[in-house]
Amino acid sequence: MYKKLYRKKLTTPDEAVKLIREGDMLVHGLTMAEPPALLEAVASRLREGDLKKIRMFSVIPLDSVCSTLLAPDLIDCVEAYSGFVDAGDRGLVSTGLNYYVPNHLHQIPRLLEEFIGVDVCVTTVSPMDDAGYFSFGTANDFTSTAARVARVLILEVNQNMPRVFGDSLIHISEVDRVVENHQTIPDFPCGDKQPEADVIGRKISQLIPDGATLQMGIGVLPNAVADQLENHSDLGIHTEVFGPGMVDLIKKGVITGERKTLHLRKHVFTVAQGDQEMLEFMNQNPAMESYPCSYVNNPAVIAKNDRMISINSLIEVDLLGQCNAEYLAGHQYSGTGGQLDFVRGAFDSREGKSILAFYSTAKNGTISRVVDHLDPGAMVTTPRMDTHYLVTEYGVANLKGKSTRERAHEIINIAHPKFRKELYRKAEEMYLI
C-alpha cells in the first residue's frame, strides 16, 4: 500500500517545485540534509522568470544553497533570512542582503510555527521503509517541525542519508511530493586546528568526570576535546551537534551512555555534521537517537542529565565575564545557536559544568581575545551571570560564586601574558581591582 502511494507521489524535481507559489517562505534541510536537486529546480524556476520572488530561512547554508538560491544573480528574487550566520551567508548579512533572525536554537521550531510561518519545506531523507516512514537522518533540528507545519512538503530521497531512530521519522502520507537523488552527501567542512587546540583540549578533559554526559558545539576547539578523552569511561552524549570525534570515542568504548540519567545508553543529538564514516556509523544504529532541537536544546531537558558538561567556543570575553560568540568587526559574524541553551542547562544539572573555550589571541597573536569591555554594539551571547568555566591555552577560570574583583583576576590570568599588564591597568580604571 505504501509503495503504491510512494510511486504516486514520486516525480521529477522540476515538477515537484511547481507547487511553490509566489512569495512562499521556503525552509530547507540543514547542512548535510540540503536537497541539491530540489534547490537547483527552484533556482531554475526563478531564473526562467516562472517564479518571481520567494523567501527563504536558512541555517549554516552550504554549497547546495549558496550555489543556487543564494547565488548573486538571484539576490533580487530570494528574500533570505538567516538563523545562524556562517561562511556561506556572512557576506550577505554584513551587506544587508540577508537578514539575521536573533534566536536561541531551541526556540526556532516555535518561531517557524507561530511567528515566521512555513509555506514549503524541502529536505533530504533516507529511503522509505516497509511501514511507509522516511528518516530525517542528519537533520532533525527545526526541519522536522517545518516539515509538519508547511503547506507543501517535498522530500529528496537519498540512499546515502542514514536512517536514524528516536523522533526522526515522517510518513509518506504526510508528504506532497517525492524525488530521488542518490548523489554522495558531501562531508561537512572542518576548520583548521591551531597547535594550542590540543593544550586547551587537555585542560578541558581534566574538568570532565567519568560518567559525564557531553555536548560539544560547532568549531575546532570543542571537537579537539574528543582527542583528549580516550582515558575516560562511560561518557554519554546529549548534544546539539553529533560529529566524527564522538564516533571515534564510541568505537573505542569511551562513550557508552551507561551512566546517563536520561535516554540511558542512547546517543542523543539534533543535527549531525561530519564525514562518510559518520554517516555509515549512524545508519540503522539503534543506539543513535535524534530529536527536534526544541527538545534536545531545551535547558530544562538538558538539566535532567546528571554531570552534564557543555563545551562551546567564543570570540572574546570582557573583564566582567560577558562572552561574545557572534559579533566581529562591526558585523554579525555567527549566531547564538544553542550556546546559551546548553550553558544554562548544563549548569542546572546535578554536578553539571558549562565550559567556554577560546584561543587567547587572534590575528597571529596581535589581538587579545580577553578585552576590558566589549565594543559598543557587540552582542552578549552568554551573559556574565551565566558564565561558568572559561578555558584558554593559559589556564582555566571558574567564575561562579566569584566577586567582580575575583572574576577580573581569574579572567586576566588566562589571557596571553603580553596583554595582562594592560588588562590589569584597565581593570583598575574600571574599579574592579
CATH of the domain at 218: 3.40.1080.20
Tell me, yes or no, whether 125 and 24 share the same domain. yes
Give the domain CATH number at 125: 3.40.1080.10
Query: Is 185 within the bounds of a domain?
Result: no
Q: What are phi and psi of 192, to 5 degrees?
A: -80, 140
Asked if 74 and 164 sit in the same domain, the reply is: yes
The answer to whether residues 200 and 168 belong to one domain is: no
3-state helix, strand, coil in the chain (%, to 5): 30, 25, 45
Residue 213 lies in a domain: yes
**Residue range(s) defining the domain that contains residue 348:** 196-429
AA identity, residue 45? R
Q: Is 406 a catalytic residue?
A: no
pTM of the model: 0.97
DSSP conformational letter for 136: -
d(CA 280, CA 284): 9
Instruction: Tell me: do 127 and 241 sit in the same domain.
Output: no
Q: Which of 240, 289, 316, 326 is catalytic?
A: 240
Beta partners for residue 180, in sequence order: 157
User: Please, are residues 135 and 111 in contact by the beta-carbon 8 Å criterion?
Assistant: no
Q: Domain ends where: 180, 210, 227? A: 180
Q: Which three cell numbers stand for residue 391?
A: 578555558
Taken in order 171, 173, 175, 180, the sign of the CA dihedral is positive
**Residues lower than pLDDT 70 in the chain:** none
Q: How many independent structural domains does the chain possess?
A: 2
Position 187 in a domain: no
- Nearest alpha-carbon partner for 245 in 237, 61, 86, 393: 237
DSSP state of 336: -
- Are 200 and 176 within one domain? no
Q: 96 and 50 in one domain? A: yes
**Backbone Cα Rg of the chain:** 22
Do the Cβ atoms of 257 and 285 come closer than 8 Å?
Answer: no
Contact 150, 175 (CB under 8 A): no
